[in-house]
């Protein structure tokens, strides 16, 4: 028996997701092209997940300049760099042990960065306090979510499993995290024909059903919705908070895409702000954990691996254990932590980098908004395809109607029909799109945070494949 055969049975039992299989196929096709294989396309275009710089979106100059100086402090003497870049880098180096980004930091993050995050939250949620000790920095929001769910799970043999109410559809990583930790997902359906809204009656139905097979202890919310693009209004947020309060559930709120709102007459309102404005009956009792990350639309610094969570009304002993669980990471990469500081405390009016920074942020938001409109119109023009309007976030989530020929073939291959559609699209046109992940309908997960010319090439390839597929099916039925 090899060493790897001794792996914890829980880890061995983790299912390989359809998304992971599609990514592996995309990597295989890319390698074939590099070694000279002839394909009808020159490269694989990946619009399945939110990695904007992979698709060609440019990083923010101010962020990269400051990080470059922090990595190579000799650049502090380079007068070709803006003065505010060099001053900021000097200040950030001073908060690092040994004035070096190569040193460790505290497991919950550099104190200076946690203070910056707290100040950012107070500027965002005017009139609502935020405390540095409630901020935990982690190597990405997914890692923070994992730490919190570990604390929820009692882990006692023979006991009822812990459950978490999870939206359908949900971020593609969420089922994997729950599966890895042995926590039961309790799905609640978002309402598609109302723009993917969170429905209070559906939450109650899901909770009642879940209590027959697990002990629900939390409800997970994604706002703006990933991958639906829905942005909750104040009334909807208040309903969820009252629900969590009445049912004594921890609120886990993914707010990573809070900087990408472009729907008409819709703005981002944080769960924490609404909670505190509902009065002490809720603000002093409801437990809330909110998540944010460098992987958001405007920064797009996915590879820096840094995010944070803010905890509200959590027991001090539980917070101590949270720090202990995060300690397994040793600490979040220091460069990622410094990038977080730059995200929450960007250049100010009058700074040398202000103009270029605001222009670059505006370009990203304009691209996102225009891409959303362009792609939505495209999907609604295709036969057997429809797409709800989006208000924010970086995804579209179009519905796909598939003929029996495809669904029957999918059954034979033992895959979901939308996964088969994505696989054929990847093989024939070199476009990687995420499969939906719902149970009673077929959808695609389509990232719109890409350069406009890339979007046009993706849509052209998708159009060719989709129309060809339907033409082939019509030919078969006529025969």
Which of 298, 308, 299 lies closest to 332 in space, CA to CA? Answer: 308
Query: 73 lies in a domain?
Result: no
At 331, is the secondary structure helix, strand, or coil? coil
| In the block, residue with structure tokens 């939308």 | 418
Q: Do both 368 and 319 map to the same domain?
A: no
CA angle 85, 87, 92 (to 5 degrees): 95
- Residues β-bridged to residue 274: none
Residue 43: give its domain's CATH number: 3.90.1150.10
Q: Do both 399 and 274 map to the same domain?
A: no
Q: Tokens at residue 62, please?
A: 């101010």
Say what the pLDDT of residue 271 is: 98
Residue-range definition of the domain harbouring residue 22: 3-57+361-478
Query: 198 lies in a domain?
Result: yes
Query: 63 lies in a domain?
Result: no
The bridge status of strand 385-386 relative to strand 395-396 is unpaired
Say what the pLDDT of residue 443 is: 94
Which of 237, 227, 133, 122 lies closest to 173 in space, CA to CA? Answer: 227
Q: Do both 121 and 246 map to the same domain?
A: yes
> Rounded distance, CA 183 to CA 161, Å?
6
Phi-psi region of 224 (alpha: psi -120 to 50; beta: other; left: phi over 0): beta
Above 70 in pLDDT, residue 322? no
> 24: burial class by Cβ within 10 Å (0-12, 13-18, 19+)?
exposed
Say what the pLDDT of residue 13 is: 42
Compute the residue count for the chain: 479
106-134 residue pLDDT tens:
878 899 999 999 999 999 999 999 999 99
Check whether the bond before 224 is cis (ω within 30° of 0).
yes
Q: Do both 326 and 372 map to the same domain?
A: no
Q: Do both 110 and 221 map to the same domain?
A: yes
Residue 192: give its domain's CATH number: 3.40.640.10
Above 50 in pLDDT, residue 4? no
Q: Do both 240 and 367 map to the same domain?
A: no
Q: Do both 135 and 240 map to the same domain?
A: yes
Which of 209, 212, 191, 211 lies closest to 200 in space, CA to CA? Answer: 191
The helix (H) or strand (E) run that includes residue 452 is helix 452-478
Q: Do both 155 and 303 map to the same domain?
A: yes
Q: In the predicted model, what is the mean pLDDT of the chain?
A: 89
Number of domains in the chain: 2
Measured in whole angstroms, how far is the alpha carbon of residue 322 from the centre of its chain?
21
Boundary residue ending a domain (314, 344, 374): 344
Above 80 in pLDDT, residue 353? yes
Contact 198, 177 (CB under 8 A): no
Say what the pLDDT of residue 470 is: 86
Query: 68 lies in a domain?
Result: no
Which of 367, 360, 366 lies closest to 65 in space, CA to CA? Answer: 360
Q: Tokens at residue 422, please?
A: 């994505």
Q: Do both 247 and 151 map to the same domain?
A: yes
Q: Do both 397 and 436 map to the same domain?
A: yes
Query: 21 lies in a domain?
Result: yes
- Neighbour tally for 456: CB within 10 Å: 14
Query: 423 lies in a domain?
Result: yes
375-387 residue pLDDT tens:
999 999 999 999 9
Query: 29 lies in a domain?
Result: yes
Q: Please provide the distance, in angstroms rounded to a whole number, between the alpha carbons at the two ends of the chain.
A: 55
Q: Do both 190 and 263 map to the same domain?
A: yes
Query: 89 lies in a domain?
Result: no
The bridge status of strand 215-222 relative to strand 45-46 is unpaired
> Rounded distance, CA 59 to CA 77, Å?
23
Contact 373, 212 (CB under 8 A): no
Above 80 in pLDDT, residue 321? no
- Neighbour tally for 111: CB within 10 Å: 14
Boundary residue ending a domain (344, 373, 398): 344
Boundary residue ending a domain (344, 371, 389): 344
83-109 residue pLDDT tens:
999 999 999 999 999 999 998 888 788
Q: Do both 414 and 330 map to the same domain?
A: no
The answer to whether the Cα torsion of 370, 372, 377, 383 is positive or negative is: positive
């Amino acid at each position: 028996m090899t060493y790897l055969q001794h792996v914890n049975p829980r880890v061995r039992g983790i299912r390989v997701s359809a998304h992971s299989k599609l990514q592996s196929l995309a990597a295989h096709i890319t390698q074939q092209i590099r070694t000279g294989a002839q394909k009808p396309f020159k490269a694989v275009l990946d619009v399945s997940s939110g990695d904007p710089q992979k698709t060609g979106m440019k990083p923010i100059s101010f962020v990269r300049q400051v990080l470059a100086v922090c990595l190579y402090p000799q650049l502090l003497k380079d007068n070709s760099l803006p003065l505010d870049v060099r001053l900021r880098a000097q200040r950030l180096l001073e908060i690092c042990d040994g004035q070096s980004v190569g040193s460790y930091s505290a497991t919950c993050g550099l104190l200076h960065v946690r203070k910056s995050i707290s100040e950012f939250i107070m500027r965002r949620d005017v009139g609502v306090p935020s405390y540095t000790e409630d901020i935990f920095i982690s190597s990405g929001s997914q890692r923070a979510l994992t730490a919190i769910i570990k604390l929820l799970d009692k882990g006692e043999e023979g006991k009822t499993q812990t459950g978490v109410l999870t939206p359908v559809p949900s971020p593609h990583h969420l089922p994997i995290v729950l599966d890895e930790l042995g926590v039961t997902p309790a799905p609640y359906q978002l309402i598609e024909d109302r723009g993917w809204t969170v429905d209070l009656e559906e939450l109650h139905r899901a909770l009642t059903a879940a209590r027959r097979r697990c002990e629900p202890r939390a409800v997970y919310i994604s706002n703006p919705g990933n991958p639906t693009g829905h942005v909750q209004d104040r009334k909807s947020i208040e309903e969820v908070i009252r629900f969590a309060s009445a049912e004594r559930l921890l609120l886990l709120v993914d707010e990573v895409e809070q900087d990408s709102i472009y729907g008409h007459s819709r703005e981002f309102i944080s769960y924490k702000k609404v909670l505190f404005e509902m009065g002490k009956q809720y603000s002093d009792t409801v437990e809330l954990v909110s998540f944010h990350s460098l992987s958001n639309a405007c920064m797009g610094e996915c590879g820096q691996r840094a995010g944070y969570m803010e905890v509200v009304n959590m027991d001090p002993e539980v917070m101590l254990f949270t720090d202990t669980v995060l300690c397994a990471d040793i600490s979040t990469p220091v460069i990622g932590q410094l990038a977080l500081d730059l995200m929450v405390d960007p250049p100010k009016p009058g700074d040398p980098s202000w103009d270029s920074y605001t222009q670059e942020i505006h370009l990203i938001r304009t691209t996102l908004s225009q891409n959303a409109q362009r792609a939505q119109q495209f999907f609604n023009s295709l036969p057997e395809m429809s797409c709800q309007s989006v208000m924010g976030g970086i995804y579209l989530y179009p519905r796909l109607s598939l003929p029996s020929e495809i669904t029957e073939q999918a059954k034979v291959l033992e895959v979901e029909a939308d996964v088969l559609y994505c696989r054929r699209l990847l093989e024939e046109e070199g476009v990687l799109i995420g499969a939906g992940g719902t149970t009673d309908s077929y959808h695609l997960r389509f990232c719109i945070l890409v350069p406009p010319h890339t979007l046009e090439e993706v849509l052209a390839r998708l159009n060719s494949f989709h129309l060809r597929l339907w033409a082939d099916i019509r030919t078969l039925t006529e025969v």
